[in-house]
A = this chain, B = another copy of it.
Amino acid sequence: MNDQTLPRPRHRRLDVRTGRVELTHGAGGRAMAQLIADIFAPALANPYLAQGNDQAAMPLPAGAAGGRLVMTTDGYVVSPLFFPGGDIGSLAVHGTINDIAMSGAVPLWLSASFIIEEGFPLADLQRIAASMGAAARDAGVPVVTGDTKVVERGKADGVFVATAGVGLVPAGLELSGDRARPGDAVLLSGSIGDHGVAIMSSRENLEFETAIVSDSAALHGLVAAMVAAAGPSLRLMRDPTRGGLAATLNEVAHQSGVGIVIEEEAIPVKPEVAAACELLGLEPLNVANEGKLVAVVAAEVADTLLAAMRAHPLGRDAACVGTVVDDPHRFVQMTTAFGGGRIVDWLAGEQLPRIC
């Protein structure tokens, strides 16, 4: 139900400063209409949302003929809800835009579904909605439809957000995880581990003094520049979120039936992130990122693509970090700074939960 634009009720406004979300705010009646009118509608305002139907209807964009539509979804359960560099609202927008953009698609529209715990402060909800709206406006990708549910106290953890997104891949562009070929170059758009370490450092029981900020950002602008530079020589793109770079490279190796060799020294890691990881016993390769991408590209175009990435603010620190190789075992291997080598495996699951 597109409940963002129900008729404005004739009661007094919500007490956003001291009020809390109640079960009636999710019951489909006047209280829900008021929550939406006072909090979500102003924060997310756009003409599609304003249609006020159970769904939003949008014209097909120019250039749709011959293209393909892409669809993606993500649930966000990050804890804490507010962290250095963002919050669950901006994170949900960035993460969903990035999943669309990794196909080479132009992101068009987002949806947002809120599951809220009874008693959650209205002021925090407003802050999250405002942050979501700002991230969507900055990216030029509107939240066109939404939903609100409320569950009893103790049956959720503040707020969960599930977003979905739709985009359009231009005709002729076909990126996919199974297209890596031996000889291809593996490029990384910047330093790894920032998001995961920022979340961990802001968790009560893991606090330490750092200036580490999440890299949460929408990458579709960088992607557009990359598509323009490399065209069909671009094999695939992935954003190394949960599971980090290690999981992403292993996924690609499996899907494409190849091996990947990366060089430890080539992978950008900020000194403060490296220090925090050492303190926590974490491997930066396994830590989540929310504003980075991995690209696999035909070797002959690697330099051109790298230059295009570095010319974009979100790709300033881009680097060529490895090569795709022939390997029936589909191993990801890393050449270490000391000249040795080791297998980079996926984590079995020891990563901290609720990183996104």
Q: Chain A: residues with CB nearer than 8 A to chain B?
A: 1-2, 6-7, 22-33, 51-60, 64-65, 67-77, 98-100, 102-103, 105, 109, 111-115, 144-152, 154-157, 160, 162, 164-167, 169, 175-178, 236, 238-239, 241-244, 247, 250-251, 254-255, 288, 346-351, 353-354
Residue of B22, B76, B77, B243 touching A28 (CB-CB under 8 A): B243
27 contacts between A and B (CB under 8 A): A1-B99, A22-B349, A23-B349, A24-B350, A27-B243, A27-B349, A27-B353, A28-B243, A28-B244, A30-B348, A54-B102, A54-B239, A55-B102, A56-B70, A57-B68, A57-B69, A65-B65, A73-B147, A73-B162, A75-B149, A115-B160, A152-B157, A152-B353, A154-B154, A155-B157, A162-B164, A166-B166
Residues of B within 8 A of A169 (CB): 57
Residues of B within 8 A of A76 (CB): 149
A145 to B73, Cβ gap below 8 A?
Answer: yes
A52 to B178, Cβ gap below 8 A?
Answer: yes
Q: What are the 10 closest A-B residue pairs judged by CB atoms, nearest first?
A: A24-B349, A28-B242, A28-B243, A162-B162, A164-B164, A7-B254, A73-B111, A55-B72, A29-B347, A75-B113
Cα separation A103 to B58 with both chains bound (whole Å) = 12
How many copies of this protein are present in the complex? 2
Cα separation A46 to B99 with both chains bound (whole Å) = 20
B1 to A242, Cβ gap below 8 A?
Answer: yes
B68 to A60, Cβ gap below 8 A?
Answer: yes
Residue of B60, B73, B177, B348 touching A146 (CB-CB under 8 A): B73
Instruction: Give min CB distance, A163 to chain B, whole Å.
Output: 8
A51 to B351, Cβ gap below 8 A?
Answer: no
Cα separation A354 to B150 with both chains bound (whole Å) = 8
Cα separation A345 to B231 with both chains bound (whole Å) = 58
Looking at A102, A111, A152, the one whose CB has the most chain B CB atoms below 10 A away is A111
Given contacts A65-B65, A75-B147, A162-B115, contact A1 B241 (CB under 8 A): yes
Instruction: Give min CB distance, A305 to chain B, whole Å.
Output: 19
Chain B, residue nearest A354 (CB): B151
Cα separation A32 to B154 with both chains bound (whole Å) = 26
